[in-house]
């Protein structure tokens, strides 16, 4: 694997995380419990799709095979996606959506903070731009997790169930592989295992404020970021998201 091949893979991971989660969150548009939340979710999704355009745009440039961000988003199949399994998990109820958002935002904010000092200026610039938006996302998702966790008996039970369901997908964020090793050697990105302590600080603080208990099992699902084993949910998501470009290739408006 050359350095550029590794960088391409790494950029797909960043762009696919925001693309898949952005799409998932956009599924709430017109369905959220109250208008303000609907608008908030749609705006969060919009930020993530914007970040996707930058990451996948750069990935296409690094690849140099004439693809662009749109082609990467709409014309790859499930096994070519490099997102974390966490972000492809179904929305569930509003609480589960916000719990997934919080776990991702916490990780994302720590990661972007480190990428801002990347040796690759292009990566550093996108990270600096995205970081401002993600700081705001984290503030919101953390507040909502606390509000619902430390809320009524019903909302507390639902948030604990969401945490129990999603926690096994957290470990994958911090597992390093060959792509990460190459990025660390080039000074482009941090070793993901070094992000864990800062993530745990945020998670422990917010979840304890939310009166929720972090599951003790250390079992973790993996296979998303290297594309080896996505869940069955990704294919369904892609069939909705990519339908138009598959049915009418190259269609623009």
Output 105 or 182, the one with its CB closest to other proteins.
Answer: 105
Burial class (CB in 10 A: 0-12, 13-18, 19+), 52: buried
**Residue 151, token pair as written in the block:** 């809320």
d(C-alpha 146, C-alpha 209), whole Å: 6
Nearest distance, CB of residue 114 and other proteins, angstroms: 16
Output 51 or 83, the one with its CB closest to other proteins.
Answer: 51
How distant is the alpha carbon of residue 53 from its chain centre? 14
Nearest distance, CB of residue 49 and other proteins, angstroms: 5
Q: Comparing C-alpha atoms, which of 90, 21, 103 is closest to residue 55?
A: 21
d(C-alpha 210, C-alpha 55), whole Å: 33
Output 22 or 192, the one with its CB closest to other proteins.
Answer: 22
Nearest distance, CB of residue 83 and other proteins, angstroms: 18
d(C-alpha 233, C-alpha 132), whole Å: 30
Where along the sequence are the contacts to other proteins (CB under 8 A)?
Answer: 36-37, 39-40, 43-44, 46-51, 53-54, 121, 124-126, 128-130, 132-133, 136, 139-140
Nearest distance, CB of residue 71 and other proteins, angstroms: 19
Output 19 or 85, the one with its CB closest to other proteins.
Answer: 19
């Amino acid at each position: 694997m050359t350095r550029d091949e590794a960088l391409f893979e790494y950029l797909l991971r960043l762009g696919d995380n925001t693309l898949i989660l952005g799409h998932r969150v956009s599924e709430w548009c017109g369905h959220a419990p109250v208008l303000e939340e609907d608008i908030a979710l749609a705006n969060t999704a919009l930020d993530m799709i914007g970040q996707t355009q930058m990451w996948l745009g750069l990935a296409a440039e690094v690849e140099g095979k004439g693809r662009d961000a749109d082609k990467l988003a709409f014309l790859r199949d499930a096994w070519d996606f490099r997102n974390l399994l966490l972000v492809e998990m179904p929305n569930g109820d509003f609480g589960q959506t916000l719990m997934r958002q919080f776990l991702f935002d916490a990780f994302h904010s720590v990661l972007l903070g480190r990428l801002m000092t990347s040796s690759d200026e292009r990566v550093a610039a996108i990270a600096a731009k995205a970081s401002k938006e993600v700081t705001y996302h984290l503030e919101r998702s953390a507040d909502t997790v606390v509000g619902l966790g430390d809320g009524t008996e019903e909302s507390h039970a639902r948030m604990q169930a969401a945490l129990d369901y999603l926690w096994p997908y957290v470990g994958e964020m911090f597992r390093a592989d060959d792509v990460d090793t190459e990025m660390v050697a080039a000074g482009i990105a941090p070793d993901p295992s070094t992000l864990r302590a800062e993530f745990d600080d945020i998670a422990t603080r917010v979840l304890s404020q939310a009166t929720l208990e972090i599951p003790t099992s250390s079992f973790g699902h993996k296979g998303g970021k290297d594309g080896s084993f996505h869940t069955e949910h990704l294919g369904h998501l892609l069939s909705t998201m990519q339908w138009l470009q598959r049915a009418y290739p190259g269609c623009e408006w």
